[in-house]
Amino acid sequence: MEFRFVVGDLARTSFAYSPLQEAVYSLRCWRDSARYPHQRPWLRRLGPAFRRLDEADLLAALIAPRLWIPDFLTPRPDRPRPVFARQLAELRTTPPGLLRPQFTAAYGADAVDLPPVLRDGLADPERLLDRICRALDDYWHTCLASDWWPRVHSVLEADLAHRGKVLAEEGAGGLFSSLDPRLTWDGEVLTIRKKGDGHPWPTADIEIGGRGLVVIPTLFALGAHTNIDPTLPPLLSYPARGRATISETPPPVTDAALSRLLGVPRARILLLLADPASTTELAHRLSVTPGAVSQHLSVLYDAGLLRRTRSGRSVRYARSELGERLCG
């Protein structure tokens, strides 16, 4: 598969991450957990909640047997750091007529035996789309948003920072080869060489043609890949650097005693700071103003529970040794 660039296309290439894509891709774990060993601690933790979801069968059916996913479920991000709610609202605007052909494309030869929840649901694609959106929203807020996504978010942010450094030091050729050894760049064409895994591979020459290429890190890819439909706006997903760190420490657990001691907002911030973060990042995760977060950080820092370091214009906070012991 080849992405063909013309003058100006490289300048329009950008990086982004997608919470909706990560949520949808995470469903692959429930179908084939062996492919994602670093997610196993989270699967054990989240399994009971996932199985209690009203639409667990529908969510599982969104992933085809070869782990392909209909393109409409992972729309190209329209900004570098979108929020899940905005992406879900975009998903709701999908033309219902796209559902059947895209599920057929994802399931391939297995499409003749679509799971009953999809086969019956496609009789009314508009209603099926609404069910899918409601199911993803429930899955996000029940299983992912509080603990899992902040951890994943930190990995993705660190990856984007690293890629920016590689681009500055090694140029486009070094950048693309750093994403996946199967990627080659000759100055005009970016080529993805096929993996020898026995799966059929969509072959196409994708003309960027002024549309820009959006490059997206993910924790759920074994190699670089793109849409099933090559006519869609160009995107390239690749394995995020550091994705193995997702299993290095136990998932943070909200402790009722800690909340009683510090108050819920400060306890939540202290737990989120298992990984360093700035005031703005914490405000984004908690959906509050940076000013509110800053006040809590000041109290926690003065109490000796946090340490802080400056990175350029940004101040990043992390738990101190005392803060770690308190959370433990």
Tens of pLDDT along 137-192? 999 999 999 889 988 998 999 999 999 899 999 999 999 999 999 999 998 999 98
Q: Name the token pair of 75.
A: 């729309």
Q: How many Cβ atoms sit within 10 Å of the Cβ of residue 134?
A: 15
Q: Name the token pair of 281.
A: 């990042």
- 0.85 surpassed by pTM: no
Per DSSP, the three-state class of 224 is: coil
* Of residues 206, 243, 215, 172, the one with CA closest to residue 77: 215
In eight-state DSSP terms, residue 225 is: B
Domains annotated on the chain, with CATH: 2-15+167-245 (no CATH), 19-150 (no CATH), 252-327 (1.10.10.10)
Asked if 97 contacts 125 with a C-beta cutoff of 8 angstroms, the reply is: yes
Q: How many Cβ atoms sit within 10 Å of the Cβ of residue 127?
A: 12
Kindly report, residue by residue over 26-77, the tens digit of the pLDDT. Answer: 999 998 888 888 898 888 888 999 999 999 999 999 999 889 999 999 999 9
Asked if 6 contacts 190 with a C-beta cutoff of 8 angstroms, the reply is: no
Phi first, then psi, for residue 188 (nearest 5°) are: -135, -25
